[in-house]
A = this chain, B = another copy of it.
C-alpha cells in the first residue's frame, strides 16, 4: 500500500518528524487555550476551556513518551516546527470567547483527522499511541456543544464565525504546506478540507 516497512530508517525519520509536529502542536495548543480562557464570559466557561487545555498537555506527554521510546529527543523533534506553528497562532489570535471556542474546535477536529489519515504510515506502537490520543479526546464534543449553544443564542454570530473558521483552515493548511510533509499522500489535504466543511455546515456555518 505504498507504506515503507516500520523498521526502515526513512520510516523512523518520518515518525520522528510527525511526532515532533504533534508534540509542538499539542504543547502550543495547551498554552494558547489556557491563555485564551481569560476571555471566557463566566468562570464556569473559563474552567471548561482550561480543562480542554489540560487534555492537550496530556497528549503532549503521550507523544513525548513515544519519542523517548524511539530514542528521539523531544525538543530536537519539536524545534523544526516551532516557527510555523507559532506563526499560525500569531496570525489567528482570537478576538473574543466565540473565536477562541471556534478555533479550539476547528484545530482539534482537523488535527484529529490529520492524525487518522497519516496513521497507516506509522509503525504499530506509534499508531497505537495516536489512536489512544484520538480516543481520549473528550474536548471535541464539549467544544461543539458550547459552539452550538452560542450560535443558537446569537444568530448573527454565524456569519462572523463562518469567515473566521474559513481563515483558520486556510492558515492551518498554508503552515502545514510550509512544513512540507512530502511523504503525506496528496489526497490528504482535500480530504481534511472536506471533513472540516462538513462539520462547519453541521454547526450551521457556511463552509
Among A38-46, A101-109, A133-141, A142-150, the stretch in contact with B: A38-46
Whether B57 and A51, one on each chain, are in contact in the complex, defined by CB atoms closer than 8 angstroms, is: yes
| 5 A-B contacts (beta carbon < 8 Å) | A42-B75, A43-B75, A51-B57, A54-B54, A54-B57
Are B34 and A75 in touch, CB under 8 angstroms?
no
> Which B residues lie within 8 Å of A30 (CB)?
34, 50
- Please determine whether B42 and A38 come into contact, CB atoms closer than 8 angstroms: no
Max chain B Cβ within 10 angstroms of own Cβ: one of A24, A31, A43, A79 = A43
CB nearest to A86 among chain B residues: B38
Q: Which residues of the partner chain B approach A60 to less than 8 Å between Cβ atoms? A: 47, 50
The answer to whether A38 and B31 have CB atoms under 8 Å apart is yes
Interface size class of A (residues with CB under 8 A): 20 to 34
- Give chain B residues whose Cβ lies under 8 Å from the Cβ of A43: 24, 27, 74-75, 78-79, 82
CB distance from A180 to the nearest CB of B (A): 21
List residues of chain B with CB within 8 A of the CB of A50: 27, 30-31, 57, 60
A38 and B82 alpha carbons, distance in the complex (Å): 12
Provide the residues of chain B in CB contact with A74, threshold 8 Å: 43-44, 47
Tell me the nearest residue of chain B to A76, going by C-beta: B43
- A57 / chain B contacts, CB cutoff of 8 Å: 50-51, 53-54
Contacts A30-B50, A54-B57 known; 18 new A-B pairs at CB < 8 A: A24-B43, A27-B47, A30-B34, A31-B34, A31-B37, A31-B38, A31-B50, A34-B34, A34-B35, A42-B75, A43-B75, A43-B79, A44-B74, A47-B64, A47-B74, A50-B57, A50-B60, A53-B57
Q: Whose C-beta in chain B lies nearest to the C-beta of A33?
A: B34
**Binary interface encoding of chain A residues 56-75 relative to chain B, with 1 for a CB under 8 A from any of its CBs, else 0:** 01101000100000000011
C-alpha spacing A35/B89, complex, angstroms: 14
Asked whether A35 and B27 contact (CB < 8 A) given A44-B75, A54-B57, the answer is: no
